[in-house]
Structure 1
Amino acid sequence: MMKERLQLGKRCRGANGYEFRHGTCSFSTKQSFSIDKDDEEREKLSREIAKDWSTVFERRINTLFLTELVRGLSLTLKYFFEKKVTINYPFEKGPLSPRFRGKHALRCYPTGEERCIASKLCEAICPAQAITIEAAEREDGSRRMTRYDIDMTKCIYCGFCQEACHVDAIVEGPNFEFATETREELPYDKEKLLETGDRWETEIAENMRSESLYR
């Protein structure tokens, strides 16, 4: 009887590494990681709970003392006293580049003679096919244009017509305030283009002189 009890009391080791004692319900293992894992999960959960509560308290404090509103107003006051970056258009107008491409115009020489010689280079190079030119021969044998139309509903303001003209007849001036109420006002004829050129000749000539080195 005593011998059998001693044998039951001996520790045995299985192939899976577990140690157990006969006659008992408890067992242990060398890989004792279950307890440590539970402790890590509890610690992680406690940190998350603390973080959640700190977030809640922070929100309550921000709501109570209007800290977000104060931050926004402080940023507004900071830029209120700095230099303004906007202008009060149309009472104030910003500077324009000499290369600005605005309303089209036909130019004349200081003598009043029209510059255009009806070479039709601008008509040929226009990618939108917005230009229509007709020419006739004068009594002195020179060729001058009799019709010059630009359909502004097609124009893309690429500036190719101005670059192609070798006598600087057709240009895009600095005027950008030429909106209309109806589409019927958008097609420009020769008379309208010459009128625009006479009105803006001073600005156009100055811009072309300043950009002459780069043309």
Structure 2
Amino acid sequence: MGYLQGFAVTLRKLLKGTETGRVVTTQYPDEKRPKPERFHGRHVLNRYEDGMEKCIGCELCAGVCPARCIYVRGADNPPDDPVSPGERFGYVYEINYLRCIHCDLCVEACPTEAITESKLFEFSFTNRSDAIYTKDELVVGDDGRPQKLPWEDWKPGDDEHTSAWVRATSPSGRADYEGQVAWSGELGYGIRSPERGQSEDDSVEADLDDDHSQHHHDDHDHPHDDHGGHH
């Protein structure tokens, strides 16, 4: 098929869609499709409700990354002014978005829920150095919200329902934990609500099982401390 024939196919589809009202092409950036709750986008480094950083510099995210786009170096916390509640904190944290494939394995590996992925996936870098995000750019602000850099196109809701909270709803895929909170509070959000069932029927069933879930939780007696991670 030649170039002109290809354009003719496109033109016919466009005219037909205009007549039937079923045009599938959106006018970017004025028209944007809503992003799903499990969308994987730009990372953020979270903080506890008291402002301390969740990252402990364990480097597990860097070790599990298949694209080798994460570089982390930990350091001992200053006794007089600790950065995180543990013995160590993330002194250096970098993500190279020219390599990142947004697989979310770093989020899965993090033991303290420090790193999560937002829905932002619209970058416009003018040079390679801007694509390498440093800790100063990744750590959330004092309001708990991601920092909005000049080359990013943030939309309302892009910082909500981040991947960590979705995946932590049912640890290791066990349905027994569905609907139970199993993570620590987050600056700007507090304790996020767990994701419900995958369909309307599942949500109804989950509501009916609330009493059973609460009883199951009490039997195991997992108290939350101020800086707890996954149970």
TM-score band w.r.t. shorter chain: 0.5 to 0.7
Q: Which structure is higher in strand share?
A: 1
Deviations 1:57-87 (A, max 9, x none): xxxxxxxxxxxxxxx98x9457523343332
Shift in CA distance, 212/80, structure 1 to aligned 2, threshold 3 Å: farther
Shift in CA distance, 78/96, structure 1 to aligned 2, threshold 3 Å: closer
Distance 2:134 2:167 in 1: 27
| CA apart distance, 1:203 | 4.8
Amino-acid identity (%) = 33
Alignment match, 2:122: 177
**Given residue 89 of structure 1, which amino acid in structure 2 is its aligned partner?**
Y
Distance 2:140 2:17 in 1: 49
Pairing partner for 2:109 from 159, 164, 173: 164
Indicate the structure whose relative CO is greater, using CA pairs within 8 Å and at least 6 residues apart: 2
Shift in CA distance, 77/177, structure 1 to aligned 2, threshold 3 Å: closer
Alignment match, 1:32: none
Could you list the runs of 5+ residues in structure 2 that have no partner in the other structure?
A: 1-10, 149-156, 172-231
Which has the higher Rg, Structure 1 or Structure 2?
A: 1
| CA apart distance, 1:214 | 4.4
Shift in CA distance, 203/115, structure 1 to aligned 2, threshold 3 Å: farther
Structural RMSD (CA): 3.1
In the TM superposition, 1:110-129 aligns within 5 A as 110-129=49-68
> Does the residue aligned with 1:213 lie in a helix, a strand or coil?
coil
- C-alpha contact 2:139 2:147 (8 A) present in aligned 1: no
Alignment match, 2:90: 145
Could you list the runs of 5+ residues in structure 1 that have no partner in the other structure?
A: 1-71
Distance 2:18 2:160 in 1: 40
Alignment match, 2:146: 199
Deviations 1:6-45 (A, max 9, x none): xxxxxxxxxxxxxxxxxxxxxxxxxxxxxxxxxxxxxxxx
Tell me the number of residue pairs that the alignment of Structure 1 and Structure 2 aligns: 144
* Corresponding position: 1:213 with 2:169: yes
Pairing partner for 1:100 from 36, 39, 50: 39
